[in-house]
Amino acid sequence: MGFFLVFFLSLISLASSASRVELKTFIVRVQHEAKPSIFTNHKHWYESSLSSVLSPSTPTQVLHVYDSVFHGFSAKLSPTEALKLQTLPHVIAVIPEQVRYLQTTRSPLFLGLKTTDKAGLLKESDFGSDLVIGVIDTGIWPERQSFNDRDLGPIPSKWKGQCVTTTDFGSRSCNKKLIGARYFCSGYEATNGKMNETSEFRSPRDSDGHGTHTASIAAGRYVFPASTLGYAKGVAAGMAPKARLAAYKVCWNAGCYDSDILAAFDSAVADGVDVISLSVGGAVVPYYLDAIAIGAFGAADKGIFVSASAGNGGPGGLTVTNVAPWVATIGAGTIDRDFPADVKLGNGKVVPGVGVYNGPGLSPGRTYPLVYAGSGGGDGYSSSLCLEGSLDPDLVKGKIVLCDRGINSRAAKGDVVKKAGGVGMIIANGVFDGEGLVVDCHVLPATAVGASNADEIRQYIDSASKSNAPATATIVFKGTRLGVRPAPVVASFSARGPNPETPEILKPDVIAPGLNILAAWPDHLGPSGIPSDNRRTEFNILSGTSMACPHVSGLAALLKAAHPEWSPAAIKSALMTTAYTVDNRGEIMIDESNGNTSTVFDFGSGHVHPTKAMDPGLVYDITPMDYVDFLCNSNYTINNIQVITRRNADCSGAKRAGHIGNLNYPSFSAVFQQNDKHKMSIHFIRQATNVGGPNSVYKVRIKPPSGTLVTVEPQQLVFRRVGQKLNFLVRVEAMAVKLAPGSSSTKSGTIVWSDGKHNVTSPIIVTMQQPL
């Protein structure tokens, strides 16, 4: 097998002298087996390769050496030096580094995970006690109760990782729960210069809060009582409370750099993790240019399940990220809990909103002058958004201020209003945000309202200004509300399909709880994340697909513990084919952004259902070589495929697989270019593996997308034994529809295999495209 070196080229700031050459961090793969015997190790060889192309003024500095998910290193070069490096006979590929960003408790109960359940997933998997979840994020605050190791057995013998100690992360920071902790900052510092250690820790310790939060969602211990500022009271627990954790810190104040992320993947695989959780994302690029896709393939190749956040670019289409088919791509839904904080206007109208606040409040029964931040003259745009320094204290002092959402964080707007003398704040969604509401722990009494309600408040302020009665309001906080209907709802921010890189693979795969999730929080940081916030809390409420992803990471660990023989693809299949699309009213889940029925591009296969995933009946398994065929049929070159898979691919066999949609994926996506054709058809080949009982007979039920004919052959699968694999063929025929040039139309349906006990469900989506 040929192995190849990759090495990352990231943009670094230009020196003040215009004559200085701009330095970047290039990623280069080299044939690993080509190392001459004169070099004692690969690092010496890499440095020699570098020095042969570097100008005398460039230091030969290797940032990271990689050995597990691929073999290589990262370093800082000029573009000219990178081009020279590409001409060396053992160099295969050059890839530019991306900067990625974070995609920022009642959920176990909402998901049906109960500790009292004698035969459920938690019991069956012993809470995942021998499984290790690697969290690639902002680090961890190890002293939190969510990471205590009471009653945990010895560290699994397979574990090869370590706890990197520093002055602020001592040897006692790790225990039998947090069994590994590392940090990676060479890529970050290559671009940004030496980090400011007064504002972030050069250690695995979390200075942001995001990594602590996501780690405790995946595998936090049972903690009671848990709440934040008195809200969301109850027991806090992660998905796999006994699973072990390893924290890999790659995200810093300026973002998360590909060379560091890849180093974390490399270490996690070598250390012996079972699941990797990554709540980080960036631009979608071809898989051979995508460090996350490359690292995730190397992990999946070793049997490690990789879960990644879908991104927070919703509700617009084509916003989903982390779309490689060997990654579980997780969108976000709501749970049946919210935090109502209503606006009572001076005209008696009550406008619903959400908010969390427990400091000195507004006086009960009293209303306060209400003002729109953008109406104060000066730079109306900056002030409407309540940006730093934009508000006139004379305008806002003693008043409740309506601020538009956008640019700065929602909590930062509250800080700006408070510093200018405002007594309260209403955050107004814009048209793009729709009706989706996110809770924050504000530094003053504050609530958030949807776009249509924000318009109503603005109209009231406007009409009041024209009368003799100035606008007034108050905010009424109603605490924590449970049993909310409908739930789940697809979160407005959750990134949507179709898949921008491979439309034939439906993404996101599933959704999981991601709105207003309570989880652990560092001790040195206020719950709003604002530097001036001196409040301290053990837990905090955050939202994002960042929060949805670790739910699935924890569930994957439980499934792996219950079914050690299952591959990452089998685990993902179990989660997808048992997911549900109906809310607690018995209707198709709605889209939070507009209140309409949501679609497969919003929720993928549906919302995860852990207890059903434990026993899915059938799974669609995928081997690493199947992914090679998929890449061949994606028209990737042999070179491209080697970069991702470290394999010398032979694409002649892939043609037997037929086309890109024949990857044995648990969902079906047909994309038709209409041109002048009236009738179009495509077929999919799938292979189902029986993981239920022996002597099982599955019959197919088809709900075709409207305007299509879908047939399945055979219509019955007869399994004699567990582990048996049977193939079936799906044929989709569609008639052309009237479309404007450059537009498309999408319809969806389902294919369900049922044996009377299991319903193995796959969405089928048909997209008609009219070329320009």
Give me the phi and psi of 35, to 5 degrees please.
-60, 120
Residues in a beta bridge with 425: 401, 446
Cβ(49)–Cβ(85) below 8 Å:
yes
Element (H, E) at 456: helix 451-465
Element (H, E) at 329: strand 328-333
Return the active site residues.
Answer: 137, 210, 546
- Pairing, β 400-404 against β 510-513: unpaired
DSSP 649: -
554-577 burial code (b ≥16 CB/10 A, e <16): bbbbbbbbbbeebbbbbbbbbbbb
Cβ(312)–Cβ(103) below 8 Å:
yes
Cβ(218)–Cβ(127) below 8 Å:
no
Cβ atoms < 10 Å from Cβ of 181? 26
Angle between helices 638-645 and 291-301 (to 10 degrees): 60
Give me the phi and psi of 47, to 5 degrees please.
-65, -35
Structure tokens at 48: 């020699």
**Burial (CB count within 10 angstroms: exposed 0-12, middle 13-18, buried 19+), residue 20:** exposed
Q: Of 665, 661, 656, give the one whose Cα is nearest residue 634.
A: 661
- Pairing, β 91-96 against β 251-252: unpaired
Query: Cα–Cα distance between 408 and 383 in angstroms, integer?
Result: 12
At 49 the three-state DSSP class reads helix
C-alpha distance across the termini of the chain, in Å: 44
Sheet containing 368-372: order of strands: 350-351, 341-345, 472-477, 368-372, 400-404, 424-428, 446-449
Q: What secondary structure does DSSP assign to 509-577, as a single string? A: -EEEE-SSEEEE--SSS-TT--TT-----SEEEE-SHHHHHHHHHHHHHHHHHH-TT--HHHHHHHHHH
Query: Cα–Cα distance between 438 and 642 in angstroms, integer?
Result: 43
Cβ atoms < 10 Å from Cβ of 65? 17
Cβ(648)–Cβ(640) below 8 Å:
no
Structure tokens at 64: 């990271």
Cα–Cα distances in Å, from 449 out to 53, 436, 454, 527, 592?
Answer: 58, 8, 6, 21, 13
CA 260 to chain centre: 18
Cβ atoms < 10 Å from Cβ of 230? 12
Cβ atoms < 10 Å from Cβ of 299? 26
DSSP 375: G
Element (H, E) at 482: strand 481-482
**Spatial CB neighbours of 684, under 8 Å, sequence gap ≥ 6:** 661, 662, 668, 670, 729, 730, 732
- At position 180, the amino acid (one-letter code) is G
Query: Cα–Cα distance between 290 and 296 in angstroms, integer?
Result: 10
Q: Of 212, 310, 763, give the one whose Cα is nearest residue 514.
A: 310
Cβ(233)–Cβ(480) below 8 Å:
yes
Query: Cα–Cα distance between 248 and 306 in angstroms, integer?
Result: 14
